[in-house]
Amino acid sequence: MENNTIYVALDDSKRKLVIAMLRPGAMEPEEREIPKDPPHIQRLFRRLQREGPVQACYEAGVSGYDLYRQLTACGVTCQVIAPPLTPRRPGQRIKTDRRDARKLVRLWRAGELTPIHVPDEAEEAARDLVRCREAVRRDVVRWRHRLLKLLDRHGRLWVTEKNWTQRHWTWIRAQHFELAALQRAFEATVFALEQALARQAELDKEIAALADTAPYREAVGWLRCFRGIGTLSAMVLLAEIVDFQRFRRPRELMAYLGLVPSEYSSGETHRRGGLTKAGNTHARRVLVEAAWHYRHRPMVGRALASRSQAQPEEVVGQAWRAQQRLHRRYRHLIGHGKRPPVAVAAIARELVGFLWAAMTRRETRPHVA
């Protein structure tokens, strides 16, 4: 970067921006506080641009990417920083917006910050849609638990077959309580669950319609060739990862998803622990759920065969090799005493390698933990 560059860090809150600036040759940052509205932001940065090039950054937070878009619209080079990857001093216990901005601008000029990929507005909208559906799914799970616990507390137990079948719902709707207050609580819980299920079904339709549009249709088709990945799972992966090509190697994608093991190495001691879980939780959840399917022997059922029709041979072949390799790997791990959740986490990590190879249309050897 040029010597006359002005480095700017912004600490973002709901109503104001605390700004720290390092001008060329300055050792101590200048600080300012401005209202968080476009006219004030534009006025400040246009004034700075008259002095020289401006490099701005802020940590991802309450503003999302709107602040980034405002700054880039003004011609400012801006990066959004991943907060978990910002270096922090051990024992630092005082936190203020001004301290955060000063620390951030020093690290920014030193080149010690890690920027994140910023999606465009359409990509962010797709991400918001799939995350909204995930939130509604959690609501459905919570209301199901509340309804079952309410029935259990009052001796109404369903032991005939699995829960949430059509017969189970018929049984639930037939329940009646003599106490009016209890009956109202029961009806309100059933109503809330039905509303959550209806919202989930509506969002599923919206996501399926989005998956059939030009930006996603081809990529969704490729991902659906893999066992355990349907339209919804494919859309979650595409919305969260955005572009598989931005990762040069499978291991970079594994790290982004938090599917690499933690490690402690000091002197002669080398110890590996559980998954870092430091990456994208939404995509990781989908991959772990998909990985459970590889417990079963490799096969192409009717649904998977239908999804694989008219897809590139390289992708279909990659998906079949994934089935063979990952099932053998799962049996090997279980045979060596690994618990199923641990084995499935390892399978999810290797599945990422196969997905990366298919989506980038490159050959890759399976990753061995």
Whether 369 is covered by a domain: the verdict is: no
Of 181, 211, 241, the residue that ends a domain is 211
Whether 366 is covered by a domain: the verdict is: no
Residues 239 and 347 reside in one and the same domain: yes
pLDDT tens by residue, 160-178? 889 999 999 999 999 999 9
Q: Where are the alpha helices (DSSP H) in the chain?
A: 38-49, 66-73, 97-110, 121-153, 166-173, 180-211, 217-223, 231-241, 250-256, 281-291, 302-308, 313-335, 340-360
Whether 328 is covered by a domain: the verdict is: yes
Residues 59 and 146 reside in one and the same domain: no
Residues 136 and 102 reside in one and the same domain: no
Residues 191 and 234 reside in one and the same domain: no
CATH classification at residue 23: 3.30.420
pLDDT tens by residue, 261-275? 766 655 665 666 666
Of 110, 135, 168, the residue that ends a domain is 110
Domains held by the chain: number: 3
Domain assignment of residue 163, given as a range: 121-211
Of 110, 136, 159, the residue that ends a domain is 110
pLDDT recorded at residue 92: 67
Residues 239 and 139 reside in one and the same domain: no
pLDDT recorded at residue 266: 56
pLDDT recorded at residue 96: 84
What number of other Cβ atoms are within 10 A of residue 135's Cβ? Answer: 12
CB 70 within 8 A of CB 37: no
Residues 26 and 52 reside in one and the same domain: yes
Spatial neighbors of 163 by CB under 8 A, at least 6 apart, are: 144, 148
Q: Give which of 49, 61, 47, 52 is closest to 10, Cα–Cα.
A: 61
What number of other Cβ atoms are within 10 A of residue 191's Cβ? Answer: 11
Whether 368 is covered by a domain: the verdict is: no
Residues 347 and 223 reside in one and the same domain: yes
Spans of the chain below 50 pLDDT: 1-2, 363-369
Residues 268 and 343 reside in one and the same domain: yes
Residues 89 and 168 reside in one and the same domain: no
pTM for this prediction? 0.87
Q: Is the dihedral of CA 167, 170, 176, 182 positive or negative?
A: positive
pLDDT recorded at residue 60: 86
Residues 152 and 60 reside in one and the same domain: no
Residues 230 and 334 reside in one and the same domain: yes
Residues 223 and 287 reside in one and the same domain: yes
> What is the Cα–Cα distance from 336 to 298, expressed in whole angstroms?
21
Whether 305 is covered by a domain: the verdict is: yes
pLDDT recorded at residue 364: 42
